[in-house]
Chain A
Amino acid sequence: MNSPIETDIIIVGAGPCGLFTVFEAGLLKLRCHLIDSLPQAGGQCSEIYPKKPIYDIPGFPSVLAGELVDNLMEQAAPFKPGFTLGESAEHVEKREDGKFVVTTNKGTQHIAPIVAIAGGLGVFEPRKPPIPNITDFEDKGVEYIIKDPEFYRGKRVVIAGGGDSALDWTIYLIDKKIAAHVTLVHRSQTFRGHLDSVQRVFDLAAEGKLNLVLDGEVVGLKGGSSVEQVVIQQKDKGEYDLATDHFIPLFGLTPKLGPIANWGLEIEKGSIKVNTFDYSTNIPGIYAIGDVNTYPGKLKLILCGFHEGTLMVQSAFKRIYPDKNLVLKYTTVNGVNGF
């Protein structure tokens, strides 16, 4: 295992709020390291709506979410933040010396006196269809993400969904002659993916290479130690079983608070309760800023997250250096002095 990453502030969540906090911490000479479950920084702005304009960032009448993230990255760059991307912060532990150890799902360890949770809506997880026994078959024939297509070589596969990911994988597993048999189940008659993918899927069905089930839904799973059949409910045909080795529902991602919910933090309606004096949580040294927190009058706006991060680092500084008299820094006086 790699040696642990040491820093001043571990920021859980590399969305806009976490990124701006790097800048504000940097002004106080505090270093930051960000952890995010997504493979890139920017949170929702990058993952869900990079091309959507945002109109309520002060000083920007309109800015694309993706551009805002680019700008925040540039603004944070002088302070050389570290990133652990594609890993989710799973576990936190307080050591005897008062420092926190945050471990990710892949075992990467981070050590710092301060943890700032800027987790937004939480960890993006695959949207799971409401099939009663689906969790019983997870990793036993049910996969929500295709990690390695070779895994399906020679197998019978049922894919559900109507978006690009469902279409692309259907085409891939057939065109590359990987799966032995592919069924695509989609709820309606039409697809909303890229037009050429949609055409290719209909062509494959016409050529007899794809079992295309339209107006249908997978409503049940049957099997013993692994999936053996899916139960399909189809308009006009009713319910029937279809033998398969794998069921792959591809319905996009949805955020869940995730492992943070088990960190012993006070949680109210899925958000972390904080003191608005400094956005501290019930665990001294752990703060929560941005969309992930709640307090009376809370508004889930990016600009409020910026404010919360700014005040939070003042408190963090006092925790790390209780003997230093904090001097507020105005960038107008000294400019931005990076590390």
Chain B
Amino acid sequence: MAENTITVTVVDREGKEHVLEAPTDMGMNLMELCKSYELPVEGTCGGMAMCATCQCYLISDTALPEQSDDELAMLDQAFHVKSNSRLGCQIKLSDEIDGIKVELAPES
């Protein structure tokens, strides 16, 4: 695989798996990755952890950094929240998360 690229698997709302090549040198997050592959993620607030339209469930056992207060506060107001809920916009694409697998939460 090309340098500065990791693999991210996204399961869409129909259960279909999308194995995506993701750049780690563009300062992108998971929400932006989904949008650029035209997966049905709105990203309404533009990545400020303020809308929860990029909510997803972490399926792999990838170790992610602690959730920020902003992210926890937003998930507190969102629906379909589970213990493994994350906001895609708060997950930075980096080598550490290579192989991550997430499932998109239902639209709300």
A residues engaging B (CB < 8 A)?
44, 48-49, 52, 121, 127, 129-130, 161-163, 187-188, 192, 251-252, 254-255, 300
Contact = CB atoms under 8 A, between A and B. Distances in A.
Given A192-B72, A192-B73, A130 B79 contact: yes
Contact of A255 (B44, B46, B48): B44
Nearest to B38: A269
Interface string B76-108: 111111000000000000000000000000101
Given A48-B50, A127-B108, A162-B76, 18 more contacts: A49-B45, A49-B50, A121-B44, A127-B77, A127-B79, A129-B79, A130-B80, A130-B106, A130-B108, A161-B77, A162-B77, A187-B76, A192-B73, A251-B77, A251-B78, A251-B79, A254-B44, A255-B44
Interface string B48-88: 10110000000000000000010011001111110000000
Interface residues of B, number: 17
Contact of B51 (A161, A192, A254): A254
Nearest to A44: B45
Nearest to B42: A270
Contacts of B72: 192
The DSSP consensus for interface residues of chain B is: loop
B2 to A, nearest CB: 25
11 contacts: A44-B45, A48-B45, A48-B48, A48-B50, A52-B48, A127-B79, A130-B79, A163-B77, A254-B51, A255-B44, A300-B46
Contacts of A188: 76
A161 B50 CA distance: 16
A151 to B, nearest CB: 24
Nearest to B50: A48
Contacts of A252: 77
Contacts of B48: 48-49, 52
Interface string B25-56: 00000000000000000001110101100000
Interface of B: 44-46, 48, 50-51, 69, 72-73, 76-81, 106, 108
Nearest to A54: B46
Contacts of B69: 192
A49 B77 CA distance: 16
Contacts of B108: 127, 130, 254
Contacts of A52: 48
Nearest to B45: A48
A333 to B, nearest CB: 37
Contacts of B51: 254
Nearest to A300: B46
- Residue among A129, A188, A254 facing the most chain B CB atoms (10 A cut-off): A254
Contacts of B77: 127, 161-163, 251-252
Nearest to B73: A192
Contacts of A48: 45, 48, 50
A121 B69 CA distance: 25
A94 B61 CA distance: 58
A252 B78 CA distance: 9
- Residue among B46, B77, B78, B81 facing the most chain A CB atoms (10 A cut-off): B77
A214 B15 CA distance: 32
